[in-house]
Amino acid sequence: SDRTVALLRRDLQQVVNGGNGTARTAFANFGENVAQVGGKTGTGEVIKGFIDDDGTIIEDVDNALFVGVAPINNPQYVIAVVIERGGSGGRVAAPTAARVLQYLLNGIEGVTDVFAGEEAD
């Protein structure tokens, strides 16, 4: 229904723009078009601290995920970022998606720098 679509759009925008949004830090310097972006973070849990067949202890890290859409009210772009063993979706995958969406919505001049190993808080 139209109501369901409106609620989903609002919730996706809150992930990116809301005070408690799990991707808010990744999109903090996005620019004036940030209100047009919605998304969902995710963390795919991986078994940790198991012993493989040769007795080696494996300490694995969770998979980081983010799916974004823009412009939220008339979607033209959808992005999915999956970083295997990246950790948290909001801290690792969302910053990557933010830079791609910055480029698509703001042009190359509107893309903020991101560096290898950098995480949003």
Dump the DSSP string for 96-111.
HHHHHHHHHHH-GGGP
Q: Using one digit for the tens of pLDDT, what is the confidence trace for 51-66?
A: 778 877 777 788 999 9
Amino acid at 96: T
* Summary mean pLDDT of the chain: 88
Residue 14 · residue 34 · CB < 8 Å: no
pTM recorded for the entire structure: 0.83
Structural domains present in the chain: 2-110 (3.40.710.10)
Sign of the Cα torsion 10, 88, 78, 107 reads positive
pLDDT single digits (tens) 13-57: 999 999 999 999 999 989 889 999 999 999 988 877 677 788 777
* Res 87: pLDDT: 87
> 26: burial class by Cβ within 10 Å (0-12, 13-18, 19+)?
buried
Whether the predicted pLDDT of 79 surpasses 80: yes
